[in-house]
A and B are shown apart, each in its own frame.
Chain A
Amino acid sequence: MATPRNTRRSQLRSRISQGSDSYQTNLLAWKVKAEPGNSKCVLKDSSAVEDSTHADDQAEDDLRIAVEYFQRGPRKASLNKEKILEKRLKTLENVAWKNGLAPETIDILLNVALSGKFGNAINTRILKCMIPETLISEDSVVKAVSWLCVGKCSGNIKVLFYRWLVAMFDFIDRKKQISLLYGFFFASLQDDALCPYVCHLLYLLTKKENVKPFRVRKLLDLQVKMGMQPHLQALLSLYKFFAPTLISVSLPVRRKIYFNNSKNLWASALIAVKQRNQGAFPEPPKLILGPSKGRSLKRKWSSHSVIPALNSANIECRGKKHLSDFLRSEISLPIEQLQSFPQLLQNIHCLELPSQMISVLNSSLLLHYINCVSDEAILLRLSYWLSQTLQEECIWYNINNYEQEKEFTNFLDIVIRVQCFLQEGFYSCEAFLYKSLPLWDGFSCRSQFLQLLTWIPFISFSEVKPLFFDHLAPLFFTSTIYFKCSVLQSLTELLQNWLLWLSMDDHVQPVTSSPLETTLGGSMDSVFQLIDYVGWLSVIAIRLESNSTLLLHFILDFYEKVCNIYINYDLPILVLFPTAIFHSALLSLDASILNQLCYIIYRYRNNLTAAKKNNLLKKEKSEFSLSSKICQEFNYYLTVMVHCLWMSTPFEKGVYIDPQILENTEVTEYRNSLNLVHHPSLLSYAACFLLQESPEERTVDVSSIRGKKWNRYLDYLFSEGFQGLKLFIKSSIHCSSVS
């Protein structure tokens, strides 16, 4: 959709973005021709209109005539003076509000409005039309400011000009020279009528180097003279932000608006300009005044339930001043001004870190910084604050109170979110777990507490056991099945975090002569022990909960992680599940458990095969040898499963049960009773299969599923989602017998 106007606009924009130099020369060429007396065809020569199309010609011409008219100044003797003036003004207003004016036009008209050629009313109307098409040239503004000194314009026009300057501030192409006029603007604060608008302008312009003791004194004098004015407060607080050693101010909490009214005149036009610019010129980041963003209104200094807001550190207060501090403070970026990730990357070497480090918990940008920083002091600051706060806020230390519990839960949620982001647990949280678990009721903040558990950093299991697991076990055994499931889920995640951590590059290099165990074997032992421990918990829990399906699911989820360690994490760990878990799963009444079991056995098989292959390849180098005990155990599991599910000969290999006992049970067809058709969890599938095969059949004889029908039955099961079973059968059973 490239309408002529759009093309023009985009050309214009590209012309501006070509760089200031070319733009500058254009403007200069233009200005030379714009000398009085030589102004006939000025605008025709201007490159801004050279490619205008016929559709726009009329409007362009009218505008050109209008601008020329204003530039010439009022005529003494003219018949229709008023009428023509009105017409020209209307033209100007129409174009300005519809499409905005080119920088050159604004330059000319600003001159006209402020030079006092016309009366106040006309000047006001002209000023109100100074809406840029995209940008305003800095030079125009500087020239305009120079008119203010001549004394040709009235107070009202001055006020309007400052309001205009504040409103259009973002559209001024550069601000270098305007910044040089800081002293001039500052002096204008004297004028009571101008003061609010000048304050606002200064608020936009002020940089650290502008804040000088004499200016601070001047502002404080003004404050004495005028009292607590919001615009002064805003400027003062900005001064305090840049120079806390010179000035102190505490803003009232309620106030949100410090500058009034200044944008109202051009509100709609500004939106239009922004749309025209459409992100080509991102708005410069603005400082936000402290209290307006402060989330917490209460002054709770001694209970830190609310994480403090981000505030730059006041370097001058912190110990001795080094030369480097001075150098750094010149170029450093206060974190309040940090708004985007690219900005963070550009300034990562010169960030002014927050005065209270813990405030980074609420800043996703600074968390990136924390993630890659290697400064121990930063981590210590975080750690001290977190330890104290966790202990202080912990609700089961203090008298319970609903409000407080909610706050603590929210706080823990934030901490957990940060840990997930950093993929690392805080030491303070670990210490908090150790300290508070013995007093925990297993109920308050349960989900948060168990999530913290998943982020215990890797540690020797024999160390963590007395600190943590010995206290967790009694709670585990005496709590509901849901608690047990949650604990198992957390332990699964803990295992995963440890594995990820160990599998990451080089940190398990064997280090000799270290005071603590650091060998590969040492780290692996820890994981072995964790898996063993969870196995022990699971076996007891299964008995306590009488083979609950729900619990079995969570246990098997854990072993789904365990069975894959060798392949997925490239770590020499192969641990099988306890026999009790295997039998519970095999005899479960739930088909999905059986399916999951099949999948786990299939993955164990793959992992064992891979390990065996590797073992043969590099026998001498390998630090871990596949023990024959694991192979035997696995073979036992595999044999039992194949005999039960497939060969209909249970209790012959593996589990041996005296035939006499089996006879006593009076189950005649016990041989079939655990195969894929008769298995209690699959019987309903077999029945469904038969009904689907021959719907007219009155009686369902599941024993009829054999031979070809057996194969069709298998396909039926696979189509019902038994993927684990499918993988198991494909890998462990060679179907030669069936064909």
Chain B
Amino acid sequence: MDPYDSQGSTSRRRTSNLKDYFVGATPLQKRLESIRRQSSFFPSPPRRKIPQGTELQEEIDPQKVGFLLHKQWTVYSLTPLYKFSYTNFKEYSRLLSAFIAAEKQKGLAVQVGEDFNIKVIFSNLVGVRGTQRDPEAFLVQILSKSQSSREHREGRVLWTGWFCCVFGESLLETVSEDFTCLPLFLANGAESNTSLIGGWFQKTFDCCFSPLAISAFHLSWMAAMWTACEMDHYMATTEFFWSVPCSPQSLDISYAIHPEDAKALWDSVHKTPGEVTQEEVDLFMDCLYSHFHRHFRIHLSATRLVRVSTSVASAHTDGKIKILCHKYLIGVLAYMTELAIFKTE
């Protein structure tokens, strides 16, 4: 028997809390310790790996990936889901579709399991995770069942949302068995549907969503990391958007570069193989700034970076991302997971 446990169980909670704090045994205490360890308010590591594919990525169903790529997702951070179970997807589908139906026709009661003109599908996103220890991602789709297109059994997709955690486990020290930690939530579809479905998740699994804005600082990191990715062929130009706050309308500056030029610039500032450091990111952006200044006499560093788009992915400061490259799906999600975890911690 652990001596602290036997003491803790007999004394009051507050007492045991203090002991636990000293011993650091429970998830709650681990969580607290990690909070206290973060000596600065922004725990951004000074270096990150350049995104690579993982073996797990091979497992991803190509049809499912089709859903995820080339779509604009609004990203949210999400606290751990309480008592969520991957084996209950059928039940969740029934409940959520009844809930949506009831909400849409305010005041009219509906029977759970009844046939509505919408269909909710919960399904696993096999392989969308960084390590085996990450909980598996899952997808929620809302389909409309239209009578006319009987042959299309699937119907039209009204709304899609997915929950994932990629390389999150190393950052999350506080996993308790009652909770499933999927800190990143991505939604595509009408905002009203997102709020409806998000509300249902909040009530059912006692979790809490909040929109995940991406700061200019993180956008610069994304720009650097995504430029650093090796591509077989480039699908889009590398483009940056800056916003200048001035009246009556704010001024947007767009800066497009040929992706190979961007890569060449990156290679010139890049030193440590396989890694991206804070200095390199700063240097990369400074080069872009000075180039722009030479031509247009505008200090971009005094404006605000609001959007970055590359052949790998694009991201907007409002918390919208679009992933273009299948190969780096996991890499992009890993960074987003990191941001989401920082938000929820």
Contacts and interface: CB of A to CB of B under 8 A. Distances in A.
B41 interface: yes
Q: Indicate the member of A244, A301, A515 with the most B CB atoms within 10 Å.
A: A301
A385 B107 contact: no
Interface string B66-83: 000000000011011011
Given A299-B195, A319-B84, A463-B36, A507 B18 contact: yes
Contacts of A223: 108-109
B80 A384 contact: yes
A504 B14 contact: yes
A381 B176 CA distance: 11
A302 B198 contact: yes
B82 A318 contact: yes
Nearest to B103: A250
Interface string B187-227: 00000000110110011111111110000000000000000
Contacts of B203: 308, 311, 355-356
16 contacts: A240-B109, A247-B110, A248-B109, A248-B112, A249-B110, A318-B204, A357-B206, A376-B27, A377-B178, A384-B344, A387-B345, A391-B210, A424-B17, A434-B41, A439-B41, A511-B22
Q: Indicate the member of B18, B19, B27 with the most A CB atoms within 10 Å.
A: B18
B160 to A, nearest CB: 18
B4 to A, nearest CB: 7
B202 A248 contact: no
B195 A436 contact: no
B79 A385 contact: yes
Interface residues of B, number: 73
A470 to B, nearest CB: 10
B111 A302 contact: no
Given A220-B109, A434-B36, A248 B98 contact: yes
Interface stretch (B87-95, B133-141, B233-241, B249-257): B87-95
Given A319-B85, A376-B176, A388-B210, A301 B28 contact: no
A384 B79 contact: yes
A507 B19 contact: yes
A320 to B, nearest CB: 6
Contact of A438 (B41, B87, B207): B41
Interface in A438-495: 438-439, 457-459, 463-464, 466-467
Interface string B3-21: 0100100011111111101
A252 B80 CA distance: 31
Given A372-B13, A379-B28, A302 B108 contact: no
B14 A424 contact: yes
Nearest to B192: A299
Interface string B293-327: 00000000000000000000000000000000000
Interface in A214-229: 216-217, 219-220, 223, 228
A247 B97 CA distance: 11
Q: Indicate the member of B14, B35, B106, B206 with the most A CB atoms within 10 Å.
A: B206
Given A220-B109, A240-B109, A515-B23, A392 B210 contact: yes
Given A391-B343, A518-B22, 9 more contacts: A217-B111, A220-B110, A247-B111, A301-B199, A319-B84, A388-B343, A389-B210, A427-B28, A467-B39
Contacts of B108: 223, 228, 249
B77 A388 contact: yes
Contacts of A250: 102-103, 106-107
A708 to B, nearest CB: 58
A388 B41 contact: no
Contacts of A301: 195-196, 198-199, 202, 209
A236 interface: yes
A252 to B, nearest CB: 5
